[in-house]
Amino acid sequence: MSEKLKKLAGARGEWENKTVAKTTERFPERKPVFETSSGIPVLRLYTPLDLEKLDYLEDMGFPGQYPYTRGVQPTMYRGRFWTMRQYAGFATAEETNKRYKFLLDRGQTGLSVAFDLPTQIGYDSDHPLSAGEVGKVGVAIDSLADMETLFDGIPLDKVSTSMTINATAAMLLAMYIAVAEKQGVGSEALRGTIQNDILKEYAARGTYIYPPKESMRIITDIFAYCKDQLPKWNTISISGYHIREAGSTAVQEVAFTLADGIAYVQAAMDAGLDVDAFASRLSFFFNAHSNFLEEVAKFRAARRLWARIMKNRFKAKKANSLRMRFHTQTAGSTLTAQQPENNIMRVTLQALSAVFGGTQSLHTNSWDEAYALPSEKSVTIALRTQQVIANETGVADSIDPLAGSYLVERLTNDIEEGANRYIDKIDELGGAVQAIEAGFIQREIADSAYNFQMAVEKEEKIIVGVNRYRQEEPPLEDVLKISSEVEAFQVEKLRKIKERRDNDKTAKALSGLKSVAEGSGNLVPVILDAVKAYATLGEISGVLREVFGEYRES
């Protein structure tokens, strides 16, 4: 240690001793050290002493250069702002198409599709298990006809589209390709993302259909198909968002998301794909939670850790294979029904942390989402929040503006180290699939969720309007309501599609799908054939259910 650092160490020690004594005297019940949501100690004061282990040239570097701590592009937002991609989907394709045009007209720069629960788990709207759920938490898509309506009047070569879909991702992607063809747009021009992240469904969300092995086959088939046919398409969005929504800490969000990413890369390589042939099309999806500085550090740590994993573990050579590109959504689990206007402030600060952290695209939640899907007014406020951050605050004028903060750099290191320890444990268990099958990841998330809830109930964690600063208020009434007529409308539309289509052609396409599923060929081309023959989502999923079976959590 240099003489200057020794002198600083002595001065800080003297200052800290006095401060601790005063704090203990005034607040005897308060811990001398605070913690982040991940249990990382937060000191009263940070100095260069806390960064002794940090090699600035190696660990920070410059934007657009390995290890990408400071961003994946050299210019970041000085080149262009992040994509403002508001997640939307409800009721029918007709209604959702109107919402997309509404958002695009107000300056949204990318589309993001929310699907209803039956679509997510491979059931048509007329299936008995779909009753009461059609169009409720997203748009109902039963066949190519619905997808044609969903993007009617929206040129697919001019927009980037993200689809939050997992178990049925191959079917929805095939429908998107078919719609583009009908518009005269080649698949090589399509830009967007399918979430396609089935492992987090087993661990945190629950919209799986098939067992893990068969689900991983579908995912690697999509990787292989898109490598040649959709070169601009992101074939997976490895999601920490739902892991965090289920109750994980920030460190767990990074660790479990990257562990899933490792599993996908390994599966693709085991299937014979070269890592540099597909790695550049991997993308990630993170949560922007409420501990502002921890969140900024989380994004920086995740980017750096992934670059090192790709370089050192998988021996990727191309720079694009090492870059973690990610979408961020503000934390739905933090939105409260009590004093819901407070959600506007929560969302603003969470969005700001994502921008400071260097996100590539961003969704801001609407303030009324603790009650219902967002109204046109509330979704406009959410979009305007991003536009104000981008155009009025100046935070995008400089790249990685919080870099060099002793606290932010120390948190970045601590989060990376904590996530690495989890990844080592998951490796010991055999990888993410085995860790999920053993219940390890689920237990860790559940324990964290329980601990957080206990802290709220004991008022160790303050939620404004919930356990502190409460006030009497009437429930919110002016919210979006999905008509009960939606289900009947969708079922009747589906009946007409089945009546109009060439059913012999449909049956032949489904038979071809079954043959390939029973063998080892790539599933995407035969799913595309079935989609073009207007086979329904439920019929295609049903064929794969018959061959692959269904997963049941033990």
And the tokens for 204? 């945190």
* Nearest C-alpha neighbor of 542 from the set 552, 534, 550: 550
| 98 close to 349: Cβ distance less than 8 angstroms | no
| Pairwise CA distance, residues 210 & 392, whole Å | 47
Query: In this prediction, what percent of the chain has a pLDDT beyond 70?
Result: 96
Name the one residue in this structure whose structure tokens are 């629950």. 206
| 197 close to 218: Cβ distance less than 8 angstroms | no
- What pLDDT, on a 0 to 100 scale, did the predictor assign at position 51? 82
- What pLDDT, on a 0 to 100 scale, did the predictor assign at position 9? 77
- What pLDDT, on a 0 to 100 scale, did the predictor assign at position 27? 52
| 330 close to 374: Cβ distance less than 8 angstroms | no
* Nearest C-alpha neighbor of 433 from the set 201, 232, 226, 252: 201
- What pLDDT, on a 0 to 100 scale, did the predictor assign at position 234? 95
Q: What is the DSSP string of 64-98?
A: TSTT-TT-SSSSGGGT-PPEEEEEE--S-HHHHHH
CA 452: distance to chain centroid? 21
Measured CA to CA in angstroms, residue 528 lies from 152, 169, 326 at distances of 20, 12, 28
| 118 close to 195: Cβ distance less than 8 angstroms | no
Scored b (16 or more CB within 10 A) or e, 388-427 reads ebbeeeeebeebbebbebbbbbbbbbbbbebbbebbeebe
Task: Output the CA torsion sign for 235, 271, 508, 140.
Answer: negative
| Pairwise CA distance, residues 68 & 90, whole Å | 37
The dotted CATH code for 56-457 is: 3.20.20.240
CA 32: distance to chain centroid? 35
Residue ranges per structural domain of the chain: 1-32, 56-457, 500-548
DSSP 8-state symbol, 130: G
What pTM was estimated for this model as a whole? 0.93
What is the three-class DSSP state of 143?
A: coil
- Facing residues of 286 across strands? 328
- What pLDDT, on a 0 to 100 scale, did the predictor assign at position 3? 81
Sites in the chain below the pLDDT cut of 50: 30, 32
- What pLDDT, on a 0 to 100 scale, did the predictor assign at position 476? 84
